[in-house]
Chain A
Amino acid sequence: MLKKYFPSILACLALAVLFTIVQVGISGGLLSGYWITNIYLMGINIILASSLNLINGFTGEFSLGHAGFMAVGAFTGAIVTANLGLPFPLAIIAGMLAAAIAGVIVGLPTLRLRGDYLAIATLGFGEIVRVVLMNIDYVGGASGMMGIPEVVNWPIIFISVVLSLLLIRNFIGSSHGRACLAVRENDLAAQMMGVNITYYKVLAFVIGAALAGLAGVLYAHYYSIIQPKEFSFMLTFDVLVMVMVGGLGSLTGSVVGAVLLTTASAFLQAIPELRMVLYALLLIVSAVFRPQGLLGEKEITLRTFERWGGVLYAALNRKQTE
């Protein structure tokens, strides 16, 4: 009985410990402002990478529109709080909803088609969003929005990351996820087994878009200032590198990729040119030596730790079964 819940209990404990360590580091003044910012960014990047992976890794589509969906979320959220004076939770709902609707508008016509249409359409979408935002005075035009309430703190980031990952994990693990996997493996055969392939492609795409929107809302309400030019293709490219390095089709891989690359760019902040070189190099190196990414399609689970010499877990397990 206990054994069944043991992994979940352990996972919760690990999360609680992680949460507390960072919280103590922040409130105790042990972490510099620079690193606090980067920890928050890490969380936002985890949401971006894992949601892009849901689209590109698990359903096998190729979206390049994440910066666009993030921008939709960021500006919608900012309008809700800064312009309309409504509370932050409403900003989250509105931002995710707007990004999801944008996802339907882009996804529905293009996902019906085979091949690279989605990549092209999402690339175009990202650029259109940016240019349109630059020309709307209501959201500040090219200089963007200011005075967005700075409400995002560590608990909000942490909960958002955990809930996003749980949502994606449960989706993948459900019969919906199996259907998505079948579509990726062979869409014709999936269709013959009764999978509505357009529905699942669009569904996964829209969930991914909504989560990118969430990342955007968090981003806006941490920095308090947002400009359309921040949401350029380079942002999508960064997220793509995180997904590729971590492993297309591995959720924990996306977490690892996001953490690694956020840390790397934190160290290289002073020399942004070097950062771009590093990203490009990483992409090439991983494409040549490990095209499946660090984790391939595998997941880091408790078993992984067990195998890696988690003697404690094995021993505890043995005691319980006796």
Chain B
Amino acid sequence: MGGIEQILTLDDVHVHYGAIWALKGINLTVGEGEIVSLIGANGAGKSTTLQAISGVVKSSAGKTTFRGEDITKVPAHNIVKKGIAQVPEGRRVFANLSVLENLEMGAYIRRDNKGIKQDMEMVLERFPRLKERISQVAGTLSGGEQQMLAIGRALMTRPKLMLLDEPSMGLAPLLVKEIFSIIQEINQEGTTILLVEQNARMALQISDRAYVLETGRIVLDGPAKELARQEDVKKAYLGG
């Protein structure tokens, strides 16, 4: 990875939920402009890793650095100002607010009205389905549309790094493909991506590098293409 600037570094990060030791010393880096994916079985600690980065859960030890700044102790509501947006597991759109209001909430921390307007147009162009449903209440959108809205809302924060937690969950194969190609597009336009996925095959296809998580520890990491060829990875995560 010579030459790539590290945008995010996790250094021996631990998380405890009461007596449960969910992360047992995570070391991980994401380079500027990369797509990095995090794969692993249910309960391995993938979501917890993303939440530790975004400050939603507190790490009990270790250090998180983003663009050279120690953000370990930064409260969750200030993380987005640093340039990290999270698309949470299960989408978590504001169900009783309209599509437009959801997107506006994405720009909550911003005051540059011109830039907000531009980004709104950009998001609606990328997701024509959202444009058609702009005043529809978000709770009545289909699962796929809600996922698009969650991604659109995160884009409205104008992030440098986007954390995506299982964006393909519960979507039909065609839509999964669409979501993945959208993630690639977003990446090509300059946003670094850290992706958590159950759909390891697709994730490894679009990623530069990947980490494999098992019960709170990273057990494997490397270039995505190489991991996809390894027999044990194939067996455990790629269904044969």
Contact = CB atoms under 8 A, between A and B. Distances in A.
A72 B200 CA distance: 59
Most buried by A among B78, B88, B108, B109: B108
B94 A192 contact: no
A189 interface: yes
Nearest to B104: A178
Contact of A192 (B88, B96, B101, B104): B88
A261 B96 CA distance: 29
A193 B107 CA distance: 8
Interface stretch (B32-40, B79-87, B179-187, B223-231): B79-87
A247 B86 CA distance: 33
A175 interface: yes
Contacts of A230: none
B108 A175 contact: yes
14 contacts: A175-B108, A179-B108, A182-B105, A185-B94, A185-B97, A188-B88, A189-B92, A190-B94, A192-B56, A192-B79, A193-B106, A193-B153, A194-B77, A196-B75
Given A179-B108, A182-B108, A189-B92, 11 more contacts: A178-B105, A181-B94, A188-B92, A191-B77, A192-B54, A192-B76, A192-B79, A192-B80, A193-B153, A195-B77, A197-B77
Nearest to B77: A196
B52 interface: no
Most buried by A among B94, B96, B109, B153: B94
Given A175-B108, A182-B105, A188-B88, A194 B81 contact: yes
Interface of A: 175, 178-179, 181-182, 185-186, 188-197, 297
Nearest to B107: A193
A194 B109 contact: yes
B240 to A, nearest CB: 36
Contact of B109 (A181, A188, A193): A193
Which secondary structure dominates chain A's binding surface?
helix
Nearest to B106: A193
B220 interface: no
B85 A192 contact: yes
Interface string B48-89: 000000101000000000000000000111111100011010
Contacts of A194: 77-78, 80-81, 108-109, 157
Nearest to B153: A193
Contact of A191 (B76, B94, B101, B153): B76
Contacts of B22: none
Nearest to A185: B94
Top 10 nearest A-B pairs (CB, nearest first) are A194-B109, A185-B94, A189-B92, A194-B80, A196-B77, A191-B76, A193-B108, A192-B86, A186-B92, A193-B105
Given A175-B108, A178-B105, A188-B56, A193 B157 contact: yes
